[in-house]
Structure 1
Amino acid sequence: MSKYLVNKFLYTVDRDTELTERYREDPAGTVSWWEAEEANRILNCITAEKTTWLAFTDEERTALATHDHVTLFGLGAHPFLTLTLWIAMFERDFDEPLGMQLDYAAQLAHLGLPYPDIAT
């Protein structure tokens, strides 16, 4: 499990409005594209600077491709990163105030302490 890579995906997608919409509409395609084209770029460096070894596990790829924040949390993805991205993508689908956030929390309610380690 590469918590770093999953968190990097969540962070970079959340900071680009067009990429956020792309991920909402085509999650599997966005995950595949991002892993192939963006995963090995070094944050805050020139485009030519890349690593060569980062890749999602099958479980990470599936959770990202299905918008499964519960599995991502269980794998150690930072909950603030998933929450802010999910707000950007799904808050508009709920009529009541804080509906998305309440749904997000309800889906995680079965989890108890100690929570998964979110350190990277």
Structure 2
Amino acid sequence: MSKYLLDKFLFTVDRDPELVERYRADAAGTVTWWEQEYANKLLNCTSDERSTWLAFTDEERRALREYDHVALFELGAHPFLTLTLFIAMFERDHGPLEYQKAYGRAMAHLHPPYPDIAT
């Protein structure tokens, strides 16, 4: 499991409106494509610099493909990253603050100590 990789996915997708729409329209395809093209690119480096070992686990892929923010949090993804990305994707389908309240309700069963979200 790589909390870093989960957070990197959420962060990079959220920062690009075209990737937000791509992920909304085709989560499975976007996760597969992103993992192949971007998972091993180093942030803030030239395109020639890459690592070779980063990959999602099956559980991480499933959570990303199903937009399962509770599972992502339980896997160590930072909740602010899932919240901001999912607001960008789903808030338009709801009234004011409805999505944020539903997000919170889905997490209500979780109690301290929370999963470690440090990377």
**What amino acid does structure 1 have at the position aligned with 2:10?**
L
Structure 1 position 41, deviation (Å) = 0.2
In structure 2, distance between residues paired with 1:104 and 1:48 = 38
Alignment root-mean-square deviation, CA: 0.5
Unaligned segments of structure 1, at least 5 residues: none
Matching of residue 87 in structure 1 with residue 100 in structure 2: no
**What amino acid does structure 2 have at the position aligned with 1:112?**
H
In structure 1, distance between residues paired with 2:56 and 2:80 = 20
In structure 1, distance between residues paired with 2:14 and 2:23 = 9
TM-score by length of 2: 0.99
Consecutive aligned runs of 4 or more in structure 1 exceeding 4 Å deviation: none
Matching of residue 27 in structure 1 with residue 35 in structure 2: no
In structure 2, distance between residues paired with 1:103 and 1:47 = 39
Structure 1 position 73, deviation (Å) = 0.4
Q: Aligned to 1:53, what secondary structure does the other structure show?
A: coil
Structure 1 position 53, deviation (Å) = 0.4
Structure 1 position 33, deviation (Å) = 0.2
Q: Matched residue pairs, number?
A: 119
Aligned-pair identity (%): 70
Unaligned segments of structure 2, at least 5 residues: none
Structure 1 position 93, deviation (Å) = 0.6
